[in-house]
Amino acid sequence: MRKKQRFIAAASLVAVLGLVAAACGDDDDSAEPGTTAQGATTTAAAQCVDPPADPVTVGLLFDVTGRGDFSFNDSAAAGADKAKCDFGVKVTESTPSGDADRPERIKLISEQNQLVIPVGFLWEKDTATAAAAYPDVNYGIVDGTVEGDNVAMLKFAENEGSYLVGVAAAIMSKSGNIGFVGGVENDLIKKFEAGYVAGAKSVKADIKVQIKYITQPPDFSGFNDATKGKEIAKAMYDGGADVVYHAAGGSGTGVFQAAKEAGSPGEVWAIGVDSDQYLSASDDLKPYILTSMLKRVDVAVYDTIKAEVEDAFKGGEQIFDLKVDGVGYATSGDFLSDEAIAAMEKAKSEIVAGTVTVPTAP
């Protein structure tokens, strides 16, 4: 029965990730021809538009993990790939090696493109500088706050999507003990924590939630430390948790590994984040990934490029929430029970209707 109950949030992400990454002509820093951000089957090139003689030019600035992280950056890449196919835009990609080369990379990208999309809040300072220096260039920064008429701030209701997977965690937990692993303890990741805890407690008011962050600002290595992620998750499983949700970027692989070592499939679970991480996980880890909270960076990137193509770009804050499928959850693996899915859909309806307000801070 559950295989028939598939919802738009997960299906639409798979559709986006199935679009061509190279059929419309990648630049040197792009993925290999014939692949997508998640390695999904590509769409035939004939389904893409012919590039116009004078295409809109887009610069996509990843964070340090770049294309191929099976998470945040890959979701952004998928949105750009779809726009490339649909509109014939020319996309140039760039990935910094660290903070030191961000200023030069955004400068070069700004000089070459009409629209620049920096992925992640660590681009805030350099985006502000570039937006002031290049007023004729438009910017769409993901998760960043940068004021300016030529800057769109692409933000998400991560708390709403996390509420849904919190509901699932509480229903699927047999121990009444669950966990949350955050990459870096800042206001953004606290939104994930707040929603997750609220969702779980809406099901079981007395549920125990273990919470631990890998690093504190200004140390952002917590987003790319699978060893530490595994260590923290292991302690949670050892402490009785049977479901652990991570909002920790590349460190999440360690959480999945800890779940595998903690028990048999169906006894313990991990929950992924940003993209459908079941699709990118190794076969030995797939049975432990209950669901993933989808943060639709692909939708935000695609919509921003579409606005540029249609000469309808607008600066200011833009929120991608449940109402616009800006966040959601995945059903790959078919592990969620009918009860969990029904409860998540009910919660989604209540949030969209405004009868449930999800907190943004713990």
Coil/strand/helix, residue 21: coil
Coil/strand/helix, residue 309: helix
Coil/strand/helix, residue 122: helix
Contact 176, 204 (CB under 8 A): yes
Averaged over 28-44, what is the pLDDT? 34
Q: Which residue has the tokens 């923290």?
A: 232
Distance CA(352)–CA(23), nearest Å, equals 37
Quote the pLDDT of residue 20.
32
Share of the chain above pLDDT 70, in %: 87
Residue 83 burial (CB count, 10 A) = 25
Q: Mean pLDDT, the chain, as a whole number?
A: 89
Whole-model pTM?
0.81
Contact 42, 34 (CB under 8 A): yes
pLDDT in tens, 214-265: 999 999 999 989 999 999 999 999 999 999 999 998 899 999 999 999 999 9
Distance CA(283)–CA(265), nearest Å, equals 12
Alpha helix stretches (DSSP H) within the chain:
8-17, 72-87, 102-112, 124-133, 158-172, 187-203, 226-238, 252-262, 297-309, 338-353
pLDDT in tens, 123-159: 999 999 999 999 999 999 999 999 999 999 999 999 9
Quote the pLDDT of residue 222.
95
Domains of the chain: 2-156+297-324 (3.40.50.2300), 158-295+332-353 (3.40.50.2300)
Averaged over 85-94, what is the pLDDT? 97
